[in-house]
Amino acid sequence: MVIQQSFIFLDKIGRKSELNIWQQGISNWNDFLNADKISGISPLRKAYYDRRIRQALQALGQEDYLYFVDKLPQKEMWRLYPEVKEGCGYLDLEIDANGTVILLGISDYYHTNFFVKGFNLERHLIEKELSKYRAIITFNGSSFDLPKLRRMGIKLKLVHIDLKPLCVNLGLVGGLKEIEKTLNLKRPTNLYGNPVDLWRSFHASGDKEYLDLLIEYNREDVENLKLVMEHVYKKMKENLGRSTDKAKRIKN
């Protein structure tokens, strides 16, 4: 479990301190608990960290992943992905020219539910849908999607993995469409349009075809998020593995 190799959720432990722990041959939580002492950590603080790690083990055992929400830095939340993978909701919203939410898609990848302004874009329906999931995955959701939802009064009590900073970390630049192309994830050519224009055309003409296109555009967004997440997790795990292996070689 990647999460059990992680110490960055502990108070005052950053990447440098975590690396120092790995360099001492302490690769996971059990190693930490079994160690009599750890260089750079006082006995008093070690006892405190031991308690926190036991709490974390209990939380994992109870599938209480919210325990980590305020403890793991957002950019490290990907480490929880294997635990929440089967209960992930992939989320993306569209706005009109005024910045108002017009469409929200939430998918488990196999099935996607849509919430459309003027039809069913209602707080209680969205919260009911979100309650089905252990975690939500977005692209730039920390800055865009989630603040929009909160302004609608929607409560978000979920693990959140934001793919955008992870993609930047891996050298995948640009928006979701550019990253899809980099990863050779294809979508129909008619679904590269502008959602604002589609919504405007739908309202101007009343032609449902424009709304259907907007929904299909959003479907591609949310369902491709899973494929991007799988790629990102694989690469981030490989990077983490190289860091821990390097730390072990330094120790030896």
The answer to whether residues 91 and 105 touch, using CB atoms and an 8 Å cutoff, is yes
Cα-based distances in Å from 53 to 3, 12, 14, 58, 75: 11, 14, 16, 9, 20
Parallel, antiparallel, or unpaired for β 159-162 and 112-116?
Answer: unpaired
What pLDDT does residue 244 have?
Answer: 74
What pLDDT does residue 204 have?
Answer: 87
Phi, psi of 194 (to 5 degrees): -105, 120
Long-range contacts of 214-218 (CB under 8 A, 24+ apart): 214/94, 214/102, 214/103, 215/103, 215/105, 215/114, 215/116, 216/188, 216/191, 217/94, 217/191, 217/193, 218/92, 218/93, 218/94, 218/103, 218/105, 218/114
Beta bridge partners of 91: 106
Phi, psi of 32 (to 5 degrees): -65, -50
- What is the distance between the alpha carbons of residues 178 and 82, in angstroms, rounded to a whole number? 26
pTM over 0.85: yes
What pLDDT does residue 88 have?
Answer: 97
**Sheet of strand 112-116, all strands in order from the earlier edge strand to the far edge:** 112-116, 101-107, 88-95, 135-138, 159-162
b/e burial code for range 146-164 (CB count within 10 A of at least 16 → b): bebbeeeebeeebbbbbbb
- What is the distance between the alpha carbons of residues 218 and 116, in angstroms, rounded to a whole number? 11
The CATH class given to the 84-234 domain equals: alpha beta
Domain boundaries, given as residue ranges, for the chain: 3-72, 84-234
Residue 101: enclosing H or E segment and its boundaries?
A: strand 101-107
Phi, psi of 40 (to 5 degrees): 90, -5
What pLDDT does residue 191 have?
Answer: 64
Q: What is the pLDDT along the chain (252 residues), one digit of tens a residue?
A: 899 999 999 999 999 999 999 999 999 999 999 999 999 999 999 999 999 999 999 999 999 999 999 999 999 999 999 999 999 999 999 999 999 999 999 999 899 999 999 999 999 999 999 999 999 999 999 999 999 999 999 999 999 999 999 999 999 999 999 999 999 998 777 666 688 888 988 988 989 999 999 999 999 999 999 999 999 999 999 998 887 776 666 655
